[in-house]
Structures are given as structure tokens and as C-alpha cells.
Amino acid sequence: MARFSSSLLRHVRLQAGTQAPPQRLTGSDLFNGHVGIPVMLVYPQGFDVVRAERALREVLRGYPVITGRLRKGSDGHAFIDCNDAGIDFRVHACAGPLPTYGIERPMGRDLRRYFKPFLPWRIVGRDVPLLQVDVWRFEDGGIVLSCYGTHSVFDGISFWQFMSDWSAACRGEAVPLRAFDRKVLTDIVADRPVPQEAGLLYDPSMPERIGLFARLGWQALQLRKAVLRVPASLVQRWKDEARAAGDATAGVSSSDLVAAFCLQQFSPLMPPQHERSVGIVLDLRARRRLRIPRDYFGNALGYGEGRCTTQEVASLSLPELALRCRPTAAQLAHDALSDLLALLDHHRAQKSVWRLFMRPAGETLRAGFILNNCVNFPMYRIDLGQGGPAWYDICGVAFRMLMVVSTPEGDGGLDLHLSARPAEIEAVRRAIAAQSAAPASSAALNGARPSGALSPA
């Protein structure tokens, strides 16, 4: 990490001037925890910081949960006190020019420079802002925008909705009051029987739990974070192969295809005796029967899983394998998702959400990874007055995970934010290079096994 020099120019608590009724955290909120997630947006062209601060203050009027504080009630349950205590907004002056962050130079360990972390167990009952915004302005006018907030208040869908509203406020547009009433989730499970398990969430025994977290901690020491680009031409080739293979595979998404591609590279490096697992993060707002508002600000996540054998990974074509990297119909059924929310709410009421564990996270210890499809997130459309960012980055995680993001150019290519072992990252990197350089297979486009055949590294 190169030498870094900066000075704090401005630190203010931004308040919105609005308050709202307290919001008790849901089981889904608590399951995601009070961990902070730093998000970085890089603006080489910079932006008007005064204008952005004014717009941020305005947009906070529609988000009273963000300017509140986490408290614990007399009944011991955590809630958001929407008291408008404010968020932290800081502006820093940095020596030298903005580093040329991008696909050739991801932020890597530089991420640590740009955010001030908080400890999850030191946020409830304290004056800790639920969102911190830092503007790091370099001598050439370039800016790194760092946003750091607690996951128990919002998920990724909610966060990017907020950022889009901030962008709209910079353009002078009015920002509506968003749906943040947590009762919308608890009402779904009112009077619903509580299942012993709910799909992929379960309550492991204490010895199993200790073993899982110990092994996840050991695994975290071995993982690295990389950003790899799949060019638009290769993504298009895979889509053409999927359409040529028949009606069953014609509808697979680019995210499904990327997950299958990475699974082909990972599989030879994984223990052969275990089934391969792809855990999938789901947005419950998209399930119409649950009737969760599309603009709900909070955590509304579900979980799915695709499974296949080692032999299937080796023998199936890329489009066929992509079908296996999707949640099953049973996992997406209304009753299954309602059971998931009922189990989470039951453990919230018992103050035992900490006991629940997601099976696919455990599978990353054997032969699996988590897929987080962020292709439709608007990170490159967050225009704070002088155009959108040229680069987005985020930290790695403590388990094998694939986050799929559109490229800054929006050209149909994909950036893979990959947390994995170095050998696994290198296998994916080499396979992307090999397939990008190889001509499209005419046999593949006629429905035979496509160019994924050369992928295992």
C-alpha cells in the first residue's frame, strides 16, 4: 500500500429535520447483523461537494431510519429510534492525484484508507450514526466517495435505492417518503405456525455452531478478493450458446452463466466427494404474493441453492449447468418463503436469531460459493452533479462469494468481485483469458457442448 496523506477539512452531523415512530428490527434485520459494509465510488471528474451535501440533507428527509440510532427497549428488543440524531459527513483533502482505480487496479487494501469502521457489538445503545459518508478529494479534483452503514438497517437493494434518490436530489428532483415500516414483514407471518426449519435456515447444535464459525474463521485467512472482467463478447457468446441449446436453457441469465462458468473452474480444486453448491441471495420484494413494497427500506432477503455432483459439473454444457445454479421452484414457493420469515420472526421474539445459520454458507467450507447477483444495481448511475462514477469497489467477505456487477461502460460485460482462494481466482482468470481468445465454436452454436468444455483449469 503506497504512502497516503490526508487532512480532515469538514466534519458535520447531517440531520433531516424529520422524525418517525420507532421501528423494531425484524428477524431479517437481525440475521444480517450490525456489521458495516463499506461501498466505494470513484469519481475521477469529481463533483460539487457543497451541492452534494445539500442534496444529501434533503434526501434524508425521506429516510428517517437512517438518521436514527439503534436502541434496546425495556423488553430487550432492538429497535431504531428515528430521533434524527444525524449521520456523519466528512470531507478530506488528499495529497497527490487520484489513484487510477479500475479493472487494472482494483482498490484492494486501499479500501482500508477510506472508511472508519465501527464494532458491531458497540452500536446498540450508543451515539453511533447508522451511516457514515466520507468524501476524499485529491489535488487533481478526483474524488473517492465512501459510504459505510450497518447491515441491520438496510440491505443492498435498499442502499442503492437511497443512493439513487441522492442522485435525483442532486438534479433538483423531489424525493418521496419511502416504505420503512417494519410491520410489513411481521404482518406476513402473523398467526402462521413456526416451522422447525425453513428451507436453508436452521438452528445447529452448539458444538456444530462452534465448529462452523471456527472453520469459517480459518477459511477467511486463506481467501483473497479479486475483480475479474468477463468481456461483453464472451457474455454474448454464452447467451448465444444458451439459446442455441434449446428452449430449456434459452432463458438463463448472464448471472446464471457466470456462476456456472466459475463453478466449472472451482470444481477441480474442490474435494471430489462433496456435492457442489451455489447459494443464492434472493430479493423478497420481487415475490408478489408476499406483498412487500418494492421501495421497502430494510432487509427483505431470502436464500436459495443450486446443487449438482462433481460429474455433472464436468459433463454438462455451460447452459445446462447454468440451470442447476438457480434456486429450485420449491425454494421460491410462497409457503417456503413465508416459513422463512416466520422462523426469523420466532427467533427474533425469542432473542435467538444469532442461533440461526444458512446452510449454503456452511457449504462454502466444502465445495460451494454464494452468488450475489448485482447486475441491475445502479452503482454506475449515481450522478452527483458531474456524471457517474468510473469505478465501484467493495471489500471481500469471510466465505467464498461471487458478486456479479455490470461494467462501468454498461457494454454488456460483467465484473466479477470474487472472494476465493488464490488458486481458484487464478483458474477463473486463466479461463476467461482462454475463452476470450478462442473463436466461437460452431458446434456449440448448433446446440452441442459449448466452449465451456475448455474451461476447467
Q: Summarize pLDDT for 162-197 with one digit per residue, the tens.
A: 999 999 999 999 888 899 999 999 899 888 888 877
User: How high is the pLDDT of residue 446?
Assistant: 37
pLDDT digits (tens, 9 = 90+) for 44-84: 999 999 999 999 999 999 999 999 999 999 999 999 999 99
- 455 pLDDT more than 60: no
Please identify which residue in the block is written with the cell numbers 416459513: 339
Query: Diameter of the chain by CA atoms?
Result: 68
- 456 pLDDT more than 70: no
Q: Across the strands, what pairs with 402?
A: 371, 418
- 443 pLDDT more than 60: no
Per-residue confidence at 444, pLDDT binned at 50, 70, 90? Answer: very low
Q: Are 393 and 227 in contact (CB under 8 A)?
A: yes
CA distance 256 to 267: 16
CA distance 360 to 364: 7
User: How high is the pLDDT of residue 190?
Assistant: 86
Please identify which residue in the block is written with the cell numbers 457442489: 276
The whole-number average pLDDT for the span 281-293 is: 94
Q: Are 155 and 298 in contact (CB under 8 A)?
A: yes
Q: Are 303 and 269 in contact (CB under 8 A)?
A: no
CA distance 397 to 419: 6
User: How high is the pLDDT of residue 2?
Assistant: 61
CA distance 349 to 448: 53
Q: Are 88 and 146 in contact (CB under 8 A)?
A: no
CA distance 344 to 198: 9
> b vs e for 418-429, b when ≥16 Cβ sit within 10 Å of the residue's Cβ?
bbbbeebbbbbb
Interacting residues of 38 by C-beta distance below 8 A, sequence separation 6+? 111, 114, 115, 117, 146, 147, 148, 394, 395
Per-residue confidence at 441, pLDDT binned at 50, 70, 90? Answer: low
User: How high is the pLDDT of residue 193?
Assistant: 87
From start to end of 151-264, where are the E strands? 201-202, 224-230
- 152 pLDDT more than 50: yes
Count CB-CB contacts under 10 A for residue 110.
17
Question: Minimum mean pLDDT among 101-110, 226-235, 297-306, 448-457: which range?
Answer: 448-457
Q: What angle do CA 400, 34, 384 make, to 5 degrees?
A: 85
Question: Minimum mean pLDDT among 169-178, 258-267, 316-325, 418-427: which range?
Answer: 169-178
Q: Are 412 and 235 in contact (CB under 8 A)?
A: yes
CA distance 273 to 323: 22
Q: What percent of the chain has pLDDT over 70?
A: 96
User: How high is the pLDDT of residue 451?
Assistant: 45
Higher per-residue pLDDT: 231 or 449: 231
- 227 pLDDT more than 90: yes
Q: What percent of the chain has pLDDT over 90?
A: 84
Mean pLDDT of the chain: 92
